[in-house]
């Protein structure tokens, strides 16, 4: 674990949880709660995730998963009750009671994404494309270097041809790129949740490994604890860096033990 700034924030978060303050824990999925896989549909969570997150939720913390994946995709991978899911980078939401919300993208931008998707399917059949709410992800995991470079170049050419006004945002991720219509992001999830919790005494933490998680770190800022999961140091808005895997498990175990202590304290 590496403390990057505000050395007391980590300790004070756990202290508040132990004293009975309600926790709000927002976690990214891939690379945070699940190891990377060549085939993303096989990215199951670490074996310890359902148990620890389930306990954390049972002891009163509001647990949310915030991911770039489609929300239904996450439901299939994570069989957990009492957990709220935000998919497609905050563009769709499934609440623990099953209530769904989906952001409505602008029709013109959707049409632009349709054209790029159709052209890519024609030029690159068999390559992995993932259409989500207001975004198109193009994956090159598992491709040869030549194929991956060709695909990247083709995406750039199609953007130049169809998106003449540069409306789409381009977000690189591990072994791929995503074209996004301007709209909600992981930072807007944080602001929505903070609004919903307005006035409540809460201890909030956001944990993630992606570039897109930086929007959430920035939005949460000093109002909570920002945890970057990364095997190597990088430029970040986070307060603390955890190594992938075991350090995440230890952190979540600490959270569980703190909220369990907090509940004992209440009694």
- Give the interface with Mg ion as residue ranges (CB under 5 A): 28, 30-31, 209-210
**Residue with the CB atom nearest Mg ion in the bound state:** 31
- Nearest distance from C-beta of residue 54 to Mg ion, angstroms: 21
- Nearest distance from C-beta of residue 36 to Mg ion, angstroms: 9
- Nearest distance from C-beta of residue 32 to Mg ion, angstroms: 5
Q: Give the closest residue to 169 by CA, choosing from 82, 79, 177.
A: 177
- Nearest distance from C-beta of residue 88 to Mg ion, angstroms: 14
- Nearest distance from C-beta of residue 37 to Mg ion, angstroms: 12
Please give the Cα distance from 131 to 178 (Å, whole number).
10
95-117 burial, b at 16+ Cβ within 10 Å, e below that, comes to eeeeeeeebebeeebeebbeebb
Our CB check for Mg ion shows the closer of 31 and 262 to be 31
Contacting residues for 238 by C-beta, under 8 A, at least 6 apart = 4, 217, 226, 227, 228
Our CB check for Mg ion shows the closer of 130 and 210 to be 210
Please give the Cα distance from 13 to 204 (Å, whole number).
8
Our CB check for Mg ion shows the closer of 104 and 174 to be 174
Question: Residue 34 has what DSSP assignment?
Answer: B
Say how many CA atoms lie within 13 Å of 193 toward its Cβ: 31
- Nearest distance from C-beta of residue 67 to Mg ion, angstroms: 7
For residue 179, give Cα distances in angstroms to 44, 93, 137.
25, 20, 6
Q: What is the DSSP string of 157-186?
A: HHHHHH-TT--SEEEEETTEEEEE-S---H
Our CB check for Mg ion shows the closer of 73 and 120 to be 73
Our CB check for Mg ion shows the closer of 130 and 209 to be 209
Our CB check for Mg ion shows the closer of 26 and 116 to be 26
């Amino acid at each position: 674990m590496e403390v990057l700034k505000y050395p007391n924030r980590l300790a004070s978060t756990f202290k508040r949880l132990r004293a009975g303050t309600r926790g709000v824990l927002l976690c990214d999925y891939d690379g945070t709660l699940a190891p990377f896989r060549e085939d993303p549909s096989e990215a199951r969570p670490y074996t310890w995730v359902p148990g620890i997150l389930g306990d954390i939720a049972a002891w009163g913390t509001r647990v949310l998963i915030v991911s770039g994946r489609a929300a239904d995709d996450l439901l299939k991978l994570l069989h957990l009750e009492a957990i709220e899911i935000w998919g497609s980078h905050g563009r769709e939401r499934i609440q623990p009671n099953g209530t769904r919300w989906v952001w409505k993208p602008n029709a013109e931008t959707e049409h632009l994404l349709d054209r790029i998707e159709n052209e890519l399917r024609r030029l690159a059949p068999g390559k992995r494309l993932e259409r989500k709410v207001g975004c198109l992800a193009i994956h090159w995991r598992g491709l040869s270097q030549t194929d991956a470079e060709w695909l990247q170049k083709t995406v750039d050419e199609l953007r130049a041809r169809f998106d003449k006004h540069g409306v789409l945002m381009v977000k690189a991720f591990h072994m791929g790129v995503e074209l996004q219509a301007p709209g909600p992001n992981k930072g807007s999830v944080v602001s929505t949740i903070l609004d919903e919790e307005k006035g409540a005494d809460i201890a909030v933490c956001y944990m993630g490994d992606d570039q897109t998680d930086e929007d959430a770190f920035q939005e949460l800022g000093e109002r909570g604890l920002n945890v970057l999961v990364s095997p190597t140091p990088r430029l970040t808005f986070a307060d603390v860096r955890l190594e992938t895997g075991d350090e995440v498990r230890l952190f979540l175990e600490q959270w569980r033990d703190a909220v369990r202590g907090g509940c004992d304290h209440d009694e």
